[in-house]
Amino acid sequence: MFYNQQLQELTQKFSTDLKNGLTDKQVKENLEKYGPNELKKTQKQSILLRFILQFKDALTIILIIAAIISIVVEPTEWIDSAIIIIVVIINAILGLVQESNAERSLEALQKMASPKAKVIRNGITITIDTSKVVPGDLLVLEAGDSIASDGRLIEAFNLKVDESALTGESVPVEKTSELIDREDVPLAERTNMVHASCNVTYGRGVALVTTTGEDNEVGKIATMLQQTKNQNTPLQDQLDQIGKSIGVICIVICIVVFFMEMLSGLTVLEAFKTAIALAVAAIPEGLATVVTVVLALSVQRMVKKNAIIKSLPAVETLGSTSIVCSDKTGTLTQNKMTVVKTYLYKLQIESIEMCSKETNELLNYFTLCSDGSISNVDGKEILIGDPTETALVKASLEKGFTKEKLSQEYPRFNELAFDSDRKMMTVFVKHEGKVLSITKGGPDVIFSRCKDLDLDEVTKVNEAMSNEALRVLALGIRYWQEEPGEITSELVENNLTFIGMVGMIDPPRQEAKQAIAEAKKAGVRTIMITGDHVITASAIARNLGILESNQKAVMGSELEKMSDVQLADHIEEYSVYARVAPEHKVRIVKAWKSKGKIVAMTGDGVNDSPALKTADIGCAMGITGTDVAKGAASMILTDDNFATIITSIKEGRGIFDNIKKDVQFLLSSNIGEVITIFGASVISLITSFDFGVPLLPIHLLWVNLITDSLPAFALGMEPTEPDVMERKPRKKDENFFSEGLGFTIAWQGVMIGVLTLIAYAIGNQMDHLTGMTMAFITLCGCQLVHAFNVKSHHSILNKRLFNNIYLWGALVIGILLQVILILIPQLSSIFKLQCLNVTQWLICIGLCLLTVVICEIVKLCHRGK
């Protein structure tokens, strides 16, 4: 292992120079030998295989079989079969195009997020893409850097690294360049190593890159995750089930109709043609394509709202989310520690806005005793260093004191760096010819090092600030005649004069508070999971409306003592989980899922990946999230904002509504076609009327491909209804056709079928061609108009009637195409249609508009219940 090897061995292994780094030639050789510093992408299926997989749907297979049998039985009637095959191929191409678009969108995101690294090559420090880092490179590390690859430290100056993304350890790890002379050292204890996807929080260092890409520690985890198979979402399962059910029903009805036609005196060929027409009528060819396109368009729309959905069907799952488990820092809060309260010794606690001149001096002392800095680059504020320290620098800056100006007035010349044992930091500055030491640290530690201190008073102040969930720092100073010869904690950090304290907090996002309230109204419960102290977490949770009077906060240590069964039994009591390690998140998700809830989980670290994968919807942070977390998640928040999750749930509900509308519209339309064909067969069998076949397969294919698909696409773009977040979430096991949807589809299909048969019967009195033409126009018209009935479960006779221009466009295009089909002789002869007189047109239009009247009456009766 690299942590227990001598540096000389490593330099020989990678042929590198510890001062000048690699040469360009060595970089090229190592890049060829080890490959780029990136995780291997999952091997893509070939375009041919993906195209073939578009035909695996049961309905598509039935259509293809019908077309083949038709052309074998009657080779001269090849046009209908050819159209069936063309329709199937068009649907496959559309599905393939949409899948490719979704993949390209995600790849574009990954390119945009390409991180940078600083390396020494040819003796010069340069900035390169992380993917171009190679073993043997000298990686330059500074506070605020994201570590590009695993490496062995050769220099470390007060270097601290946040390894929580990899190990789950919430406290930054102090690093050293010293050799570890032991075997089998746990990852968290390899203090002379740095790892990819971790962040430098303090100090600086130089590391010799030892591994890249999948050989990194983070790469090993990513490889395991890539081997995990994704499960189908509820929508995928339900649509598959719908397809299979329609297929079985279709085959049964076709067989029944075939024998009915035979009994009524038709030849085998004629009876078979009617059965083929019925198969075409029963199968909603465009359903899978319409749903795919609607989801793809919705995903593109959600990108504009800072949510990138990696899996199309996951959009639907979002809409049924009932539990959102969210991290606190950066998601519910601003991830910007902010000084909000100050205390000067012997005075009262003040708000930062009410600072006196003396308090400004306290803030300046804190700024001088910190290593954080704030700079302005192209108008953007860049904070470098520990968030606590940058908050102190920011507090002074807002009072008009820059750190640069203060450093000129109080030049620093020595220091005692912070360490976790002392919990203090001291700097030496010169001011007006005197030597001044400034010491900051935890209140209890500073109190014990101060002289002439009223301990009762300062303890009460500390408790008062802490009870407001503030992180409190205290400060003391000491003047010296000259710089002490030996700078030790025992000598320097004693006999201090106490100056005061500051209280800071990571403020909650205001938009998160509004989003939580909206979620609560929608029946979505928010759970806070954080590594912070339970007092801090509870205070922020109460402020945000997460923690209510009848709910509890629980510590990670208490979770450890609970079995999975106990946790599941009490899961609904807890709204806040504090001091929680990443591995606890999986248990929390599983406990909620055992209650039948659909769970969304946020995360940003490598160790969050199992929880993101376990949740129904994994939400990775786009800004602070690691590549592995993004890979495990089904959604990426590009703004790391909790409000985006709730916005996405709202969009998800609207999208699912639109998919239900599409299914309702397409299936009711297809049932209408089946009723038309089946009804004509029944009438011919049980009466003396020879009804014949009201619609040919070519008519039904036209209807399914054009008249059905255009409004269906438009319904998929329907704006989200205003009351969508006033409903409770759907249950996990809720049937797609619940709340009477199945019955609604059935009676609306019967309505369309009966109206079409009426038009056919009226036209058939003249001749069969007129009857077919009137049936064709009425069926098309009924479906175009019926799309407006489906657009809302409320009455459509309001201002929202005109809120979907795509639906009106589909109506206009649909009508124009029907008119063109009848008026152009070449087309009308192919479709076996003829021109109608004014009376016949008016009858067809009247029957089409009757669908609105019937549906409005039903909606009115439903509202009256």
Helices (H) and strands (E) in the chain, counts: 32, 24
**Residues of the chain scoring pLDDT < 50:** 106, 109-110, 112-113, 227-230
**C-alpha–C-alpha distance, residues 190 and 193, integer Å:** 6
Please return the burial class of 319, using the count of CB atoms within 10 Å of its CB with bins 0-12, 13-18 and 19+. Answer: buried
DSSP string, 408-467: HHS-EEEEEEEETTTTEEEEEEEETTEEEEEEEE-HHHHHHHBSS--HHHHHHHHHHHHH
Query: 175 with 188: CB under 8 angstroms?
Result: no
In a 13 Å sphere around the CA of 828, the CA atoms on its Cβ side amount to 16
Please return the burial class of 7, using the count of CB atoms within 10 Å of its CB with bins 0-12, 13-18 and 19+. Answer: middle
Q: Which two tokens stand for residue 67?
A: 């077309």
Please return the burial class of 801, using the count of CB atoms within 10 Å of its CB with bins 0-12, 13-18 and 19+. Answer: middle
CA nearest neighbour of 525 among 551, 506, 543, 507:
551
Phi, psi of 547 (to 5 degrees): -95, 110
Ramachandran bin of 47, using left for φ above 0, alpha for ψ from -120 to 50, beta for the remaining angles: alpha
Q: Which two tokens stand for residue 560?
A: 């450890």
One of 3.20.20.70, 3.40.50.300, 1.20.1110.10, 1.10.286.10 is the CATH number of 231-301+649-720+738-863, namely 1.20.1110.10
Query: 281 with 676: CB under 8 angstroms?
Result: yes
**Residue 611: predicted pLDDT:** 86
**C-alpha–C-alpha distance, residues 246 and 124, integer Å:** 68
Q: Where are the domains of the chain?
A: 1-215, 231-301+649-720+738-863, 316-334+509-647, 338-505
Q: Report how far Cα 727 is from the mean position of its chain's Cα atoms.
A: 22
**Residue 459: predicted pLDDT:** 95
Which helix (H) or strand (E) segment holds residue 520: the answer is helix 510-521
CB count within 10 Å of CB 573 equals 10
**C-alpha–C-alpha distance, residues 326 and 526, integer Å:** 7
Pairing of strands 635-637, 307-309: antiparallel
**Residue 213: predicted pLDDT:** 87
**C-alpha–C-alpha distance, residues 42 and 223, integer Å:** 10
Please return the burial class of 165, using the count of CB atoms within 10 Å of its CB with bins 0-12, 13-18 and 19+. Answer: buried
CA nearest neighbour of 683 among 673, 669, 693:
693
pLDDT digits (tens, 9 = 90+) for 100-123: 765 665 455 445 445 678 999 999
CA nearest neighbour of 617 among 231, 359, 153:
231
One of 3.40.1110.10, 3.40.30.10, 2.60.120.10, 3.30.1200.10 is the CATH number of 338-505, namely 3.40.1110.10
Phi, psi of 39 (to 5 degrees): -75, 140
Q: Sign of the C-alpha dihedral, residues 184, 185, 188, 194?
A: negative
**C-alpha–C-alpha distance, residues 166 and 608, integer Å:** 9
Domains 316-334+509-647 and 338-505 share a fold: no
Phi, psi of 678 (to 5 degrees): -65, -40
If you search the block for the tokens 């695996």, which residue do you land on? Answer: 56
Q: Which two tokens stand for residue 561?
A: 């003592």
Query: 314 with 298: CB under 8 angstroms?
Result: no
**Residue 229: predicted pLDDT:** 47
State the SS3 of 666-735.
Answer: HHHHHHHHHHHHHHHHHHHHHCCCCCCCCCCHHHHHHHHHHHCHHHHHHHHCCCCCCCHHHCCCCCCCCC
Domain 316-334+509-647 sits in CATH at 3.40.50.1000
Q: Which two tokens stand for residue 430?
A: 């010169």
End-to-end CA distance of the chain: 74
Pairing of strands 116-121, 412-419: unpaired
Residue 139's DSSP bridge partners are 119, 207
CA nearest neighbour of 787 among 666, 641, 609:
666
Q: Which residues are catalytic?
A: 327
Phi, psi of 847 (to 5 degrees): -65, -35
Q: Which two tokens stand for residue 641?
A: 């904002």
**Residue 456: predicted pLDDT:** 95
**C-alpha–C-alpha distance, residues 310 and 634, integer Å:** 5
Query: 570 with 554: CB under 8 angstroms?
Result: no
Query: 779 with 703: CB under 8 angstroms?
Result: yes
CA nearest neighbour of 232 among 326, 298, 344, 311:
311
If you search the block for the tokens 């409000």, which residue do you land on? Answer: 643
CB-based contacts of 696, cutoff 8 Å, min separation 6: 80, 277, 772, 831, 832
Q: Sign of the C-alpha dihedral, residues 385, 388, 389, 393?
A: positive
Q: Which two tokens stand for residue 329?
A: 């820092």
**C-alpha–C-alpha distance, residues 284 and 246, integer Å:** 9
Exposed e or buried b per residue across 577-599, where buried means at least 16 C-beta atoms within 10 angstroms of its C-beta:
bbbbbbebbbbbbbbbbeeebbb
The CATH architecture that domain 1-215 belongs to is Distorted Sandwich (2.70)
**Residue 324: predicted pLDDT:** 95
**C-alpha–C-alpha distance, residues 684 and 613, integer Å:** 58
What stretches of 166-310 adopt beta strand conformation (E)? 173-174, 193-194, 199-209, 307-309
